[in-house]
Amino acid sequence: MSVLADLEKRSGSVCEFCASTDNLSVYEVPPISTGGVDGSVLACATCKSQIENPDSTDANHWRCLNDSMWSEFRAVQVVAWRMLSRLKAKGWPQDLLDMLFLDDEALRFAQATGEGLDDSEKVIHRDVNGTILEAGDSVVLIKDLKVKGSSMVAKQGTAVRRISLDSENAEFIEGKVGPTQIVIITKYVKKLSKSE
């Protein structure tokens, strides 16, 4: 079965946040490391758009989290935590956030994008030119890099797609070079535009 089919079966073919049945699609929860069913949720177009675009967030829409935050699925819990953290200044989301329990691993996953932190507390990753990097971006190596613990050399000009960010260190990102997942220092990469 496909990820979409698995998520439809898991959710009963409704959005895992607001229970809408319209315009459902897979949303891979960043930072994407595993994807698949465990790292994804089934979301309607409204929820997905607001998750991805903080400026378009309608706080009242997310009152649905009062029910969905109790989901048994980690990816749903993580997105619920992130949305409640984003909206906590409204009052009622903070009350729900206080009730929501995530185990240590789920909490690290939830905090990985910096959601809910003040801008002064966020770890911001920048490429060699100072451009801000985000989870899921593509970058290109600007010099040959020897990969520690192996004989592999990642060549200058190699594109690394769908990077993930180290939530504690602004100098480190992760990505796949060939079949190998490696840690890369941000000063050795340049962000690729969407068209490249």
Strands 139-141 and 132-133 turn out to be: unpaired
Q: Check residue 46 and give its pLDDT.
A: 94
Where along the chain do the CATH 2.30.30.40 domains lie?
Answer: 123-191
Tally of CA atoms within 13 A in the half-sphere of 27 that contains its CB: 23
Name the stretches of the chain with pLDDT < 70: 1, 32-35, 114-122, 194-196
Q: Check residue 64 and give its pLDDT.
A: 94
Beta-carbon contacts of 2 under 8 Å, excluding residues fewer than 6 positions away, are: none
Q: Using CB atoms within 10 A of its CB, is residue 58 exposed (0-12), middle (13-18) or buried (19+)? A: exposed
Q: Check residue 66 and give its pLDDT.
A: 92
Q: Check residue 195 and give its pLDDT.
A: 57
Q: Check residue 120 and give its pLDDT.
A: 53
pTM of the complete model: 0.61
CATH topology of domain 123-191: SH3 type barrels. (2.30.30)
- In angstroms, the CA 117 to CA 130 distance is 21
Q: Check residue 11 and give its pLDDT.
A: 93
Amino acid at 32: I
Amino acid at 9: K
pLDDT digits (tens, 9 = 90+) for 136-157: 889 999 999 888 878 888 899 9
